[in-house]
Amino acid sequence: MAGKPKLHYTNGRGKMESIRWLLAAAGVEFEEEFIETKEDLEKLRNDGSLLFQQVPMVEIDGMKMVQTRAILSYIAAKHNLYGKDLKERAWIDMYVEGTTDLMGMIMYLPFQPAEAKEKNLALIIERATARYFPAYEKVLKDHGHDYLVGNKLSWADIHLLEAILMAEECKPDILSAFPLLQAFKGRISNIPTIKKFLQPGSQRKPPADEKFIAHVKKIFNM
Amino acid sequence: MSGKPKLHYFNGRGRMESIRWLLAAAGVEFDECFLETRDDLLKLQKSGALLFQQVPMVEIDGMKMVQTRAIGNYIAAKYNLYGKDLKERALIDMYVEAIIDLDELLMMYALQPADKKEQYLANIVDKATNRYFPVYEKVLKDQGQDFLVGNQLSRADVQLLEALLMAEEYKSDILAKFPLLQSFKARISNVPTIKKFLQPGSQRKPPLQEKDLPKVMKIFNLGH
């Protein structure tokens, strides 16, 4: 009998957050085991639980899966969020890679040297509003559908919503030039499983504060 | 009628090389359009051909595909190099993602300042020999089969071979402690399509020479 997936990570967003989003959107209940100290991480490594000595790690369907994208692809495919054929999958992959790049920039911002922070934040906003959001706005405009691919909810939509909300935390009016993305945000946020995940008390994690960053740096020797 | 895939990149390995490997291993002929100057890239960006203004871009089956992983996924699935089911796919993805991490490390060596290169190289060798290679050695040992997943050639094997050869360019005896990886290397190198790709005159690209680095930096506006 397969139990609930079990997520191994720190008690924060990082690379695990997209996995939490996808499971939640798919309506899959999951458990979490938080790495609180360096010793917790060492124990996981010494147990042989981490194929490449790294987290995220997700226990799912008898596997100890590692590598964020591998985990996300598996969950998406298993829960019918990966399109209906190879070509839809290709588009979903392209869109997800774009949002991954954008969210990666935002995620690493607190780990950049303090003096570069303002410059990096400006770059994030520039990339979001000049490179990524225009691409997704155009996709929605060109086909006029509610979802990015195949007229059906997919991993790409969930990932884009996550990216939009993260970008808004950097600059609240960052969607001002993108009416279709604003409507998209409203629409996808209202999907029952996602709506639930967006409410207080869910397993969604808040943005990292200074204290948490220091904590994480310690655990991962950064 | 869809013609051959057409690859848009500069005339070097970079992020396009693993795509060349996959296509070659699958026996798929492809054309290449090389970016020689920054203007070539700007022109491509202005034409709307690049979804996120970036290369690699591959014209394939009526799509202008971007994002290395998306392209690799599509080619692997289309040419049956992605396992037979979801679980095999999961294993292949895990192995390939780690190889991509190692490839990134190797790729970034050329961009390190001269005084940091030695330390960086030591880090590459450490990660390769302590984190990544032991895993693949163990997979081969535990299964006793010729290939990493599902007893048939997959993307994981192709990309691992590529990484092993690249790592050897940095340290020729880097596989000394990994006998099964050594025989894996020989075996996969002998797969006919791969053997052909490894011969001179193929579309495989050589390592980036120091003298070519300024040109690449210029095209991509790096180092600004």
Q: Which residues of B touch A131 (CB under 8 A)?
A: 52-53
Mutate to test the interface with A, among B61, B97, B138 (most CBs of A within 10 A): B97
- Whether residue A74 and residue B89 make contact (CB cut-off 8 A), yes or no, is yes
Phi, psi of B36 (to 5 degrees): -100, -30
ipTM confidence? 0.95
List Cβ neighbours of A169 (8 Å cut-off, separation of 6 or more).
A106, A207
Residue B54: closest CA among chain A residues belongs to which residue?
A131
Quick check: B13 pLDDT over 90? yes
- Quickly count: other Cβ atoms within 10 Å of residue B169's Cβ: 11
Residue A77: closest CA among chain B residues belongs to which residue?
B86
Distance from CA of A78 to the nearest CA of B (A): 8
Phi, psi of B58 (to 5 degrees): -130, 120
Per-residue pLDDT reduced to its tens digit, A189-222: 999 999 999 999 999 999 999 999 999 999 998 8
What local confidence, expressed as pLDDT, does residue B2 receive?
57
pTM of the model: 0.96
Among B86, B81, B70, B61, residue whose Cα is nearest residue B15: B70
Q: Which residues of B touch A78 (CB under 8 A)?
A: 86
Q: Evaluate the omega torsion of the peptide bond into residue B56 and state whether it is cis, within 30 degrees of 0.
A: yes
Flag whether residue B159 sits within 8 Å of chain A, measured between CB atoms.
Answer: no
Which residue intervals of chain A are DSSP H helices?
17-25, 38-46, 68-78, 86-108, 117-127, 133-143, 155-170, 179-189, 192-197, 210-219
> Can you tell me the distance from the alpha carbon of A69 to that of B93, in angstroms, rounded to the nearest whole number?
8
Q: Evaluate the omega torsion of the peptide bond into residue A56 and state whether it is cis, within 30 degrees of 0.
A: yes
Per-residue pLDDT reduced to its tens digit, B142-189: 999 999 999 999 999 999 999 999 999 999 999 999 999 999 999 999
CB A94 within 8 A of CB A43: no
